[in-house]
Amino acid sequence: MFRNAIARKPGPDFADGLTTSDLGRPDFARMVAQHTAYLDVLRELGLEVEVLDALPGHPDAYFVEDVAVVTPDVAVITRPGAEARRGEEESMIPVLARHRPTVRIEAPGTLDGGDVLMVGRHFFIGISERTNLAGARGLGEALARHGCTWAPVEVGAGLHLKSSVNALGEDTLLLSGAFMDRPEFAGYRRIQVTDAETYAGNTLWINGHLLMPSGYPDTLAKVERLGLPIHLLDTSEARKMDGGLTCMSLRF
């Protein structure tokens, strides 16, 4: 059960963030409206939402998920894998220190929270362009000290693990095709996202509700069968910056 969320306002420079998408330049006013609608859903679900100001000079900083991993016991401050995003994590330390003891991922480790999938007290940690084995081990050791288990997962193509695999509760995963038959996920009920709708894999479970990006009918139809309430959100502008619903908050 999550009670808190932390988010950060996108700044007017948000279009200068890192991206590999060819969907065009995003619009600030539209981004702000979509971000506001997202925060409204988090509040509707009963979360206390702390919204931090934009961080000048860090256009990707509203993707707060990447700078920390927060569990019931500890907040692990990451060391972002992209050079351009280093420093975002510093401003999160005092914020999280009010909620949890904090520990840090140390060099040469790199870790992005987008690579960390929490399923109950087990954590899958993607090894990706952004997260290396030293970073994964640093996180895994911090988690293990509090009785959690973890396993590394090779991400291959795609930005982060959660670009391709997400949890819809503790027993069900939503995955893209390349991850369907991975032995790591064999014990879970698995719902496949088609290649045409890969982006919809970034669906966010919060306290028995699902937040899904709008515009992905095939994935929506499959997920609807779970019978959970679904909140559809327009994420067109974050998508242009390679971001989605999980990236824009920390939940704990």
Residues acting as catalytic residues: 160, 247
Q: Which of 10, 11, 109, 114 binds ligand CIR (CB under 6 A)?
A: 114
Whichever of 23 and 144 has its CB closer to ligand CIR, that residue is 23
Instruction: Using the minimum distance from each CB to ligand CIR, give the nearer residue, 102 or 163.
Output: 163
The residues with which 205 forms a beta bridge, in sequence order, are 210
DSSP for 174-222, please give it. Answer: EEEHHHHT-GGGTTSEEEEEPGGGGGGG--EEETTEEEEESS-HHHHHH
Look up residue 210 and give its two tokens: 């699902």
Compose the 143-162 pattern: x for residues touching ligand CIR by CB under 6 A, - for all others: ----------------xx-x
**Smaller CB separation from ligand CIR, 32 or 82:** 82
> Which of 13, 16, 18, 190: binder of ligand CIR (CB under 6 A)?
18
* Residue 241 is a binding residue for ligand CIR (CB under 6 A): yes
Q: Cβ of residue 22: shortest distance to ligand CIR, in angstroms?
A: 14
The distance of closest approach from Cβ of residue 72 to ligand CIR in the complex, given in angstroms and rounded to an integer, is: 21
DSSP string, 118-187: EETTEEEEEESSS--HHHHHHHHHHHHTTT-EEEEEE--SSSSGGGTEEESSSSEEEEEHHHHT-GGGTT
The structure tokens listed for 136 are: 């994964």
Cβ atoms < 10 Å from Cβ of 126? 27
Of the candidates 2, 13, 16, 19, which one interacts with ligand CIR according to CB under 6 A?
Answer: 19
| Per-residue DSSP letter, 62 | T
Q: What minimum distance in Å lies between the beta carbon of 162 and ligand CIR?
A: 6
CA–CA dist 88, 68 (Å, integer): 10
Q: Which stretch binds ligand CIR (CB under 6 A): 44-52, 90-98, 205-213, 243-251?
A: 243-251
Question: Interface mask (CB under 6 A) for ligand CIR, residues 45-64, using x and -?
Answer: ---------------x--x-
Nearer to ligand CIR, 46 or 156 (CB): 156
List Cα–Cα distances, 236 to 34, 121, 130, 209, in angstroms. Answer: 8, 32, 23, 21
Q: Coil, helix or strand for 58?
A: coil
> Site residues (CB under 6 A) for ligand CIR?
17-19, 60, 63, 65-66, 82, 85, 114, 159-160, 162, 241-243, 246-247
